């Protein structure tokens, strides 16, 4: 079928990571994940997935932690947008989006994947944080954990480049905003030394260290209707990004992926109020300024 030596070890690592993350989130929330395993074996796509969903939790309003391992054929049009030759591809990855109930806990996304097509294979992925209210302590913590991983693999990755690519990727041009405060992003690496596979495993393993302490810090923060309304409107932006721009989502839609898994990243509830008023000196305005101007952790002396 394929002769990608990185595929099977990556798939095994992603599954183990999925188990570990789900266990930790169940510990945080007190709610069990629903397991929805699936297999596909048709003309479009063959393989299996382990979808894990938690809805209506105490901390997590909706959380999805997916693993999948599939092979299939790109459409002609989609194949033209990808490196490599031929239409056959294999893909495996872990993909996670957590939508907390509290507006004081940031939404977070993480995805690491291995894809190959013909004799070209690449790793890709990253993690990014989307707060509703700005807390620099949180933002710095998230970036610091990822920076430290990148520095341990400085022979294969350059942290400032991954930060910059994240910043360039998670953008809503029509809003003049970034999705959040950034993180890491990388894709389409041609040559894959063994160390790159190790970096991907390490970055995935760092996820819980990066996000869990942030959630724990804000568990007891109070909020009311105003904060909830703001969160729902910002979640609308999350939907806009995922449906208009996100390559992972479009990849899923265009390769006939399992739709409930592909769109699991969408929030439990989102709002589109018309042109809502944001007072200039409010905490909502502070967040808006940050997503408009951007945040650069590589030049933050306090990171």
Q: How far is the CB of 94 from a second copy (least distance, A)?
A: 17
Q: How many CB atoms lie within 10 A of CB 143?
A: 25
Among the listed ranges 137-145, 184-192, 195-203, 257-265, the one in contact with a second copy (CB under 8 A) is: 257-265
Give yes or no for residue 267 binding a second copy (CB under 8 A). Answer: yes
Give yes or no for residue 272 binding a second copy (CB under 8 A). Answer: yes
Buried b / exposed e along 65-79 (16+ C-beta atoms within 10 A): bbbbbbbbbbeeeeb
Question: How would DSSP label each residue in 189-230?
Answer: -S---HHHHHHHHHHHHTHHHHHHHHHHHTTT----HHHHHH
Given 6, 99, 109, 218, which residue is catalytic?
A: 109
Give yes or no for residue 273 binding a second copy (CB under 8 A). Answer: yes
Beta bridge partner(s), residue 124: 113
Give yes or no for residue 274 binding a second copy (CB under 8 A). Answer: yes
Q: How far is the CB of 274 from a second copy (least distance, A)?
A: 5
Among the listed ranges 18-26, 100-108, 147-155, 259-267, the one in contact with a second copy (CB under 8 A) is: 259-267
* Residues counted in the chain: 303
Our answer to whether residue 245 is catalytic in this structure is no
- Residues in region 216-245 near a second copy by CB under 8 A: 232, 236, 239-240, 243-244
Whether residue 293 contacts residue 177, with contact meaning beta carbons closer than 8 Å, is answered with no
Q: Which two tokens stand for residue 244?
A: 């208009």
Give yes or no for residue 268 binding a second copy (CB under 8 A). Answer: yes
* Distance in angstroms (rounded) separating the CA atoms of residues 213 and 235: 22
Q: How far is the CB of 246 from a second copy (least distance, A)?
A: 11
Between CA 133 and CA 191, with CA 242 as vertex, the angle to 5 degrees is: 105
Is residue 165 within a helix (H) or strand (E), and if so which, with residue range?
A: helix 159-169
* Distance in angstroms (rounded) separating the CA atoms of residues 143 and 108: 13
Per-residue contact string for residues 136-175; x = within reach of a second copy by CB under 8 A: --------------------------------------xx
Interface contacts to a second copy, rule CB under 8 A:
34, 36, 53, 55, 62, 64, 174-175, 232, 236, 239-240, 243-244, 253, 259-260, 262-264, 266-275
**Active site members:** 109
């Amino acid at each position: 079928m394929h002769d990608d030596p990185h595929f099977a070890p990556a798939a095994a690592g992603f599954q183990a990571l999925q188990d570990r993350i789900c266990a930790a989130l169940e510990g945080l929330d007190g709610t069990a994940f629903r397991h929805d395993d699936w297999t596909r074996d048709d003309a479009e796509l063959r393989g299996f997935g382990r979808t894990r969903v938690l809805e209506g939790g105490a901390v997590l309003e909706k959380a999805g932690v997916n693993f999948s391992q599939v092979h299939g054929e790109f459409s002609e049009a989609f194949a033209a947008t990808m490196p490599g030759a031929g239409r056959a591809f294999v893909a495996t990855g872990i993909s996670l989006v957590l939508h907390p109930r509290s507006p004081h806990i940031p939404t977070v996304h993480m995805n690491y994947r291995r894809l190959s097509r013909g004799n070209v294979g690449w790793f890709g992925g990253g993690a990014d944080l989307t707060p509703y209210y700005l807390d620099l302590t949180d933002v710095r913590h998230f970036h610091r954990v990822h920076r430290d991983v990148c520095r341990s693999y400085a022979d294969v990755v350059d942290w400032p480049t991954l930060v910059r690519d994240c910043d360039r990727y998670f953008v809503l041009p029509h809003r003049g905003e970034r999705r959040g405060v950034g993180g890491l992003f990388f894709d389409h690496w041609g040559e894959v030394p063994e160390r790159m596979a190790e970096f991907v495993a390490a970055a995935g393993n760092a996820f819980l260290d990066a996000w869990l302490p942030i959630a724990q810090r804000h568990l007891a923060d109070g909020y009311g209707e105003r904060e909830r309304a703001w969160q729902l409107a910002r979640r609308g932006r999350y939907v806009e990004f995922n449906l208009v721009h996100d390559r992972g989502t479009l990849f899923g839609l265009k390769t006939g992926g399992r739709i409930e898994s592909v769109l699991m990243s969408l929030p439990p509830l989102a709002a589109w109020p018309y042109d809502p008023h944001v007072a200039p000196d409010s905490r909502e305005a502070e967040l808006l300024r940050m997503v408009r101007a951007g945040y650069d952790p590589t030049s933050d002396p306090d990171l």
